[in-house]
Copies of this chain bind each other. A is one copy, B any other.
Amino acid sequence: MVVSIRDVAEHVGVSLGTVSNVLNRPNTVNADMVARVLEGIRELGYVRNDAARQLRAGNSRTIGMIVQDSSNPFFADMARGAEDQAEVGGRMLIVGNSHQSAERELRYIDLFEEQRVQGVFLAPIDDLTERLKQLRQHRIAPVLVQRRVSLDDFCSVAGDDEHGGYLAVKHLLDIGRRRIAFVGGPVSIIGIEDRLTGARRAVDEVADATLEVIDTAELTVGVGRSVGEQILDRDRGRRPDGMFTANDLVALGLIQAFVMSHSVQIPDEIALIGYDDIAFATAAVVPLSTIRQPGAMFGVMGVSLIQEEVDSPDGHTHRQVLFQPELVVRESTAGFADPEA
């Protein structure tokens, strides 16, 4: 019923080794023999059994990726970039979604290890240094999305979050805001802490500026909305006049809350800036200023680094690729002096 390489061999009247050679090294086989075998393969509808191939060859052709939140367009962009790059190298990408659960993250790592993927690309929630080193014993190359790791052990891809945070708040200060609020958390999410650090540095440069930190459990539109309502409950004087959110989703939530209330003008009373520059930032009620990160490039580069390590396991030295973020000014902070002007 199920056609194996042996069936093809018998059908064509050659040895099974020859069929394998046609599949894997056609140039070592006589041209018309190749043709005959391929014909046989077609006739019998043979499809290679990848499990057997992998068992014997010892390696798979897949790369595993773990994202923390697939409904965040930024991660979706990253995954797309990763997938495109994987395809270039003739590999497949398997994507797992951890939903920011450290447990699910570990489960996926186990799964990927059983599958003997060539590499794992992930933004770790917990500290996984030891676990990831174990992966190496199965010749699996881990690549991280993260800035500060024990640099020597892994390749990594990251945005300069500290600088991004600085840029964002510097911009708020430049347009005259002084009561700054940072909305974000938890610290486990990559780079959040750095963005806050950068924000703090910018605030410290201006004498009368203050920074309030509003901690959140996750970074979603819903969270943004509820933080927004919480702000609306305050007396006007006690509200921030400039808010920097750890990602665009939260900012979009804030915008919704403020606009629906009809009681806060953006950016007049509160200026807003997000992070990532997802596609929907432009389409918001009030188009959102933000710090742009090249999401797809993160993915492309992450997978490239895996491919580098896999293709030359010996002469490989780990690299840390850092992308520079970029300020994008839209209406949620505009109608004022250009920051550079």
Contacts and interface: CB of A to CB of B under 8 A. Distances in A.
Contacts of A60: 51
A288 to B, nearest CB: 9
Contacts of A282: 221, 256
B48 A51 contact: no
Interface residues of A, number: 48
Nearest to A255: B283
Contacts of A114: 47-50
A128 interface: no
Contact of A115 (B50, B93, B97, B138): B50
Contact of A76 (B70, B113, B253, B286): B70
Interface in A75-110: 76-77, 79-80, 83, 92-97, 110
Taking each of A54, A77, A93, A134, which has the highest tally of chain B beta carbons within 10 Å of its own beta carbon? A54
Nearest to A134: B45
Nearest to A251: B283
A285 interface: yes
A68 to B, nearest CB: 12
A280 interface: yes
A55 interface: yes
Contacts of A287: 285
Nearest to A283: B252
Nearest to A260: B287
A341 interface: no
Contact of A95 (B52, B95, B116): B95
A51 B114 CA distance: 8
Nearest to A282: B256
Nearest to A137: B45
Taking each of A51, A52, A95, which has the highest tally of chain B beta carbons within 10 Å of its own beta carbon? A51
A116 B45 contact: no
A111 interface: yes
Contacts of A134: 45
A14 interface: no
A73 interface: yes
Given A80-B97, A93-B95, A221-B283, 6 more contacts: A1-B137, A47-B138, A49-B116, A70-B80, A73-B73, A256-B283
Kindly list the 3 A-B residue pairs having the minimum CB-CB distance in the complex, ordered from nearest. A51-B54, A50-B114, A51-B55
9 contacts: A2-B137, A47-B138, A51-B51, A51-B60, A70-B76, A80-B97, A93-B95, A221-B282, A283-B284
